[in-house]
A and B are shown apart, each in its own frame.
Chain A
Amino acid sequence: MASTELNTIIKNGLWSNNPALVQVLGLCPLLAVTGTVVNALGLGLATTLVLLSSNIAVSLIRHFVADSVRLPAFVMIIASLVTCAELLMQAFTYELYEILGIFIPLIVTNCAILGRADAFACKNPVLPAATDGLMMGLGFTAVLLVLGALREVIGQGTLFTGMNLIFGDMALTWEIQVFTDYPNFLFAILPPGAFVGMGLIIALKNIIDQRIETNRAKEETQKTVGNKRVRVTGNVA
């Protein structure tokens, strides 16, 4: 497997085909649970785990499943993996599992997972499929984290509160009080705030992409000027 291809897969997952920012898939959990960083991280990791393992599994069975029944097969795989993730969270991060509630089993309906299984994993060998799953998951988690941090700071004036739910007691001191004596800004905590925050993040990504595009265009035009002889005398007909 050529490494350039893997690089493209990584870049696609994290940035140019990011499941949350570009494909805009899996919005339901994205908007519902990103009230705090810890919730976002919890759901992000669970989704990444499911995405990674479902891509590997789908890639492994791709030659043995008839095309006409592939979707039920994918859904079965994803559903069992989500159950695994759910049981794991129940075992190790029970409080977080209680907080995230219905959104853990709902990972199964996250279109990003079925989308990657159908669009990528069932057409590619295991290594690229695994990379794709991991990178898509990390890209999704990154967006969840940014949105979670944004909403936590604006909504409650804190950052990293309750991280001990994932990282154990050593994370008890991680909480940062960004503003003291902060009146809770309910709008940011409620789902409408998530829509606005999501819109702003997508807008920011578009701005960055535009900047990169204009810079590249500028460089190209400069190159062409240097390579050509410029006509300095006479009239152009």
Chain B
Amino acid sequence: MALLTLSSPHAKGPQRTSTMMRWVIAMTLPGLFMQTLFFGWGNLHNVLWCTLVAIACEAAVLKLRKRPIGFFLNDYSAVVTAVLLGIALPPFAPWWVSLVATSFAIIFAKHIYGGMGYNPFNPAMVGYALVLVSFPVAMTTNWATPLPLLEQPASLLDTLNIIWGQIPITDALTGATPLDTYKHEIAHSLSDTVLENPIFGAGFSLGWEWVNLAFLAGGLVLLALKVIPWQTPVGLLVGLAIPSLLLGSDADQTAPLVIHLLSGATMLAAFFIATDPVSSCTTTRGRLIYGFGIGLLTYIIRAYGSYPDAIAFSVLLMNFAAPLIDVYTQPRTYGYVDAKRGSKAKEKN
């Protein structure tokens, strides 16, 4: 007779992977709502379509790998990847862009490396970077104009027809993002002139600021619930703010801090993307460094690179660095003090 023997401690915490993932999904909803409010039905459609693709891919790969399908589908990690992609992709991105991004994220970025818990890179960002590099036209020309600026916003049916390639997209519906506009306009005009463009609204970016604030609110709830650690988002925001204050204080040269923080994918990245427990750092100090690195790289690419936003590349670059950061930030073992004198101290050096 075989008895299941487990050593102590026997206490169980309330956190489960699936609970955490469901909280993450739930807390993206305010941001998604704001996106729908300001940029139309595109993102909502993309989230649903990506989720469908992600679940199908996950089930297919799990079957091929002979793993329990129901068990792994129930941890909702594939859905989180899909939701993040759906939010991050341009609202009018054609259906095949989302399909390629999601299937590559699940099959290549996640399962080829061993599945849930083994992927060194954030799957959603791998998928995003892939389509960003592969389809530059589709990924830059399909950002939506904020609805308040449109006389005739696209209806749900029109949006579906555009995404599924039934009708061509009209020029009025799409426009460059505020980050993109600022970056290109500031080269030959002053900040005040650039900000006259209605997509900047009241001095920063129309629509985007509410989307970002909604993601910030959702992220704060996740912090309060201890679903995500505070170090990564704080590190990221500081890493973005410091160079922006030091180097970008002149608004006539580069985008000011408020646009960096409240436009683009900053808050989504800080609270939902960089905090991926698998591909980020695991030590407390490490998470600060990791977040700071993402923020710094994002600023560098936004200010000096050729891409308007840089979350995907920065997150992937820091994913590379995460294991090394973990090695150098191991915490002191409880009750053990590093020798400051004597042979032990010399050994360390």
A interface residue numbers (CB < 8 A to B): 183, 185-188, 190, 196
Are B134 and A187 in contact, with the CB atoms below 8 A? yes
Are B138 and A187 in contact, with the CB atoms below 8 A? no
Answer yes or no: B108 CB below 8 A from chain A CBs.
Answer: yes
Residues of chain B lying within 8 A (CB to CB) of residue A186: 133-136
Contacting A at CB under 8 A, from B85-113, are 96, 100, 108
Q: Report the minimum CB–CB distance from A98 to chain B (whole Å).
A: 26
Residues of chain B lying within 8 A (CB to CB) of residue A187: 130, 133-134
B interface residue numbers (CB < 8 A to A): 96, 100, 108, 130, 133-138
Are A185 and B134 in contact, with the CB atoms below 8 A? yes
Q: How far, in whole Å, are A187 and B108 apart by their CA atoms in the complex?
A: 14
Residues of chain B lying within 8 A (CB to CB) of residue A196: 108
Q: Report the minimum CB–CB distance from A46 to chain B (whole Å).
A: 30
Q: Report the minimum CB–CB distance from A188 to chain B (whole Å).
A: 8
Shortest 7 CB-CB contacts between residues of A and residues of B: A187-B134, A186-B134, A185-B134, A187-B130, A187-B133, A186-B133, A183-B135
Residues of chain A lying within 8 A (CB to CB) of residue B130: 187
Most chain A beta-carbon contacts within 10 A, residue among B96, B134, B135: B134
Name the residue of chain B whose CB is nearest to the CB of A183: B135
Looking at chain B's contact residues, the main secondary structure is helix
Q: How far, in whole Å, are A186 and B137 apart by their CA atoms in the complex?
A: 11
Q: Report the minimum CB–CB distance from B312 to chain A (whole Å).
A: 14
Q: How far, in whole Å, are A188 and B135 apart by their CA atoms in the complex?
A: 11
Looking at chain A's contact residues, the main secondary structure is helix
Q: Could you pull out 17 A-B pairs where Cβ atoms are within 8 angstroms?
A: A183-B96, A183-B135, A183-B137, A183-B138, A185-B100, A185-B134, A185-B135, A186-B133, A186-B134, A186-B135, A186-B136, A187-B130, A187-B133, A187-B134, A188-B134, A190-B133, A196-B108
Residues of chain B lying within 8 A (CB to CB) of residue A190: 133
Name the residue of chain B whose CB is nearest to the CB of A189: B134
Q: How far, in whole Å, are A227 and B135 apart by their CA atoms in the complex?
A: 62
Residues of chain B lying within 8 A (CB to CB) of residue A188: 134
Q: Report the minimum CB–CB distance from B256 to chain A (whole Å).
A: 33
Name the residue of chain B whose CB is nearest to the CB of A199: B112
Residues of chain A lying within 8 A (CB to CB) of residue B134: 185-188
Residues of chain A lying within 8 A (CB to CB) of residue B96: 183
Q: 15 additional contacts, CB 8 Å, given A185-B135, A187-B130?
A: A183-B96, A183-B135, A183-B137, A183-B138, A185-B100, A185-B134, A186-B133, A186-B134, A186-B135, A186-B136, A187-B133, A187-B134, A188-B134, A190-B133, A196-B108
Q: How far, in whole Å, are A183 and B131 apart by their CA atoms in the complex?
A: 12
Q: How far, in whole Å, are A62 and B344 apart by their CA atoms in the complex?
A: 59
Q: How far, in whole Å, are A188 and B108 apart by their CA atoms in the complex?
A: 14
Residues of chain A lying within 8 A (CB to CB) of residue B136: 186
Q: How far, in whole Å, are A168 and B33 apart by their CA atoms in the complex?
A: 59
Q: How far, in whole Å, are A60 and B108 apart by their CA atoms in the complex?
A: 48
Most chain B beta-carbon contacts within 10 A, residue among A187, A190, A196: A187
Q: How far, in whole Å, are A185 and B136 apart by their CA atoms in the complex?
A: 10
Name the residue of chain B whose CB is nearest to the CB of A187: B134
Name the residue of chain B whose CB is nearest to the CB of A203: B112
Q: How far, in whole Å, are A185 and B96 apart by their CA atoms in the complex?
A: 11
Q: How far, in whole Å, are A190 and B135 apart by their CA atoms in the complex?
A: 12
Q: How far, in whole Å, are A183 and B142 apart by their CA atoms in the complex?
A: 15
Residues of chain A lying within 8 A (CB to CB) of residue B108: 196
Q: How far, in whole Å, are A196 and B109 apart by their CA atoms in the complex?
A: 11
Residues of chain A lying within 8 A (CB to CB) of residue B133: 186-187, 190
Q: Report the minimum CB–CB distance from B201 to chain A (whole Å).
A: 33
Q: How far, in whole Å, are A188 and B130 apart by their CA atoms in the complex?
A: 10
Residues of chain B lying within 8 A (CB to CB) of residue A183: 96, 135, 137-138
Q: How far, in whole Å, are A196 and B138 apart by their CA atoms in the complex?
A: 23
Q: Report the minimum CB–CB distance from B168 to chain A (whole Å).
A: 13
Q: How far, in whole Å, are A185 and B134 apart by their CA atoms in the complex?
A: 5
Q: Report the minimum CB–CB distance from B264 to chain A (whole Å).
A: 23
Q: How far, in whole Å, are A183 and B130 apart by their CA atoms in the complex?
A: 14
Q: How far, in whole Å, are A183 and B141 apart by their CA atoms in the complex?
A: 14
Q: How far, in whole Å, are A186 and B135 apart by their CA atoms in the complex?
A: 7
Name the residue of chain A whose CB is nearest to the CB of B137: A183
Name the residue of chain B whose CB is nearest to the CB of A188: B134
Q: Report the minimum CB–CB distance from B37 to chain A (whole Å).
A: 30
Residues of chain A lying within 8 A (CB to CB) of residue B135: 183, 185-186
Q: How far, in whole Å, are A196 and B130 apart by their CA atoms in the complex?
A: 12
Name the residue of chain A whose CB is nearest to the CB of B131: A187
Name the residue of chain B whose CB is nearest to the CB of A185: B134
Q: How far, in whole Å, are A190 and B108 apart by their CA atoms in the complex?
A: 17
Q: Report the minimum CB–CB distance from A2 to chain B (whole Å).
A: 43
Residues of chain B lying within 8 A (CB to CB) of residue A185: 100, 134-135
Q: How far, in whole Å, are A217 and B97 apart by their CA atoms in the complex?
A: 45
Q: Report the minimum CB–CB distance from B166 to chain A (whole Å).
A: 14
Q: How far, in whole Å, are A176 and B341 apart by their CA atoms in the complex?
A: 75
Q: Report the minimum CB–CB distance from A182 to chain B (whole Å).
A: 10
Q: Report the minimum CB–CB distance from A226 to chain B (whole Å).
A: 31
Q: Report the minimum CB–CB distance from A178 to chain B (whole Å).
A: 15
Q: How far, in whole Å, are A196 and B133 apart by their CA atoms in the complex?
A: 15
Q: Report the minimum CB–CB distance from B328 to chain A (whole Å).
A: 29
Most chain A beta-carbon contacts within 10 A, residue among B96, B135, B137, B138: B135
Residues of chain A lying within 8 A (CB to CB) of residue B137: 183
